[in-house]
Amino acid sequence: MKIVVIGGTGLIGSKLVTELGEHGHEAVAAAPNTGVNTLTGEGLADVLAGAQVVIDVSNSPSFEEKAVLEFFETSTRNLLAAEAAAGVGHHVALSVVGTERPPGNAYFRAKIAQEQLIEKSPIPFSLVHATQFFEFVRRIADEATDGGKVRMAPVLFQPIAGDEVAQALGRVSVGTPLNGRVEVAGPEQVRMDEFFRDVLASWGDPREVVTDPHAHYFGAELLERSLVPDDGATLGRIRYRDWSARNAAGK
């Protein structure tokens, strides 16, 4: 099966291309550095020729409100139009657990706009909502840093390994289109402030983690369950401490 991965040279995309290739599929990485640009439409017709499935794991280079919305709306419109012309039978998109819940930030609102375009398209689709990746934990801590303090809300948090997100996308992509969504998350649900307090201590990071119910997460305050899945989510098996130890050993 020919499966085109939009954003296929990025963190999740590269894992997904490898995963699909190991299972015997013709997995094609499509990204600006391979000559495919969903914002301009460059290379789309050629790369989608003969494709049965498209998986979109691309991401906006900017999280600024106007820029991120323009990226997801423009790229998704171009991609869906090219898929319709090529006869693609299954569109799979990676999104985020909690996009549809208040309070939303600019990124979540842009992802909702993307999902609405997909849902209105005649192309059968599947949406995979994932929680935050282990690989982004340091970025989340840096974003929440104010001086020497890391301000974190005491809300629920359930991050997942990027490898398990790629595996979930691969399984969904070769199955029957859901015309709906599935949620994937890590195996452990913890308090966000406690998680980052333990993680920074394990890094030997001198920053103090401060519990702040009003702390912002990329521009918005969080409710208790803003970032965790509902019942019935597919849970990974890799725990953060094991992932971290393995990656530290690899480095």
pLDDT in tens, 23-36: 999 999 999 999 99
**Measured between alpha carbons, how far is residue 239 from residues 16, 186, 197 in Å?**
20, 7, 16
Which residue stretches of the chain have pLDDT < 50?
250-251
Tell me, rounded to whole angstroms, the distance of Cα 204 from its chain centroid: 28
Encode 85-120 in three state secondary structure. Answer: HHCCCEEEEEEECCCCCCCCCHHHHHHHHHHHHHHH
- The structural domains of the chain, ordered by start, are 2-250 (3.40.50.720)
User: What's residue 249's pLDDT?
Assistant: 58
Sheet of strand 145-146, all strands in order from the earlier edge strand to the far edge: 145-146, 149-152, 208-211
pTM: 0.94
Distance CA 55, CA 73 (A): 16
- State which amino acid sits at residue 176: T
| Interval 123-133: pLDDT, tens | 999 999 999 99
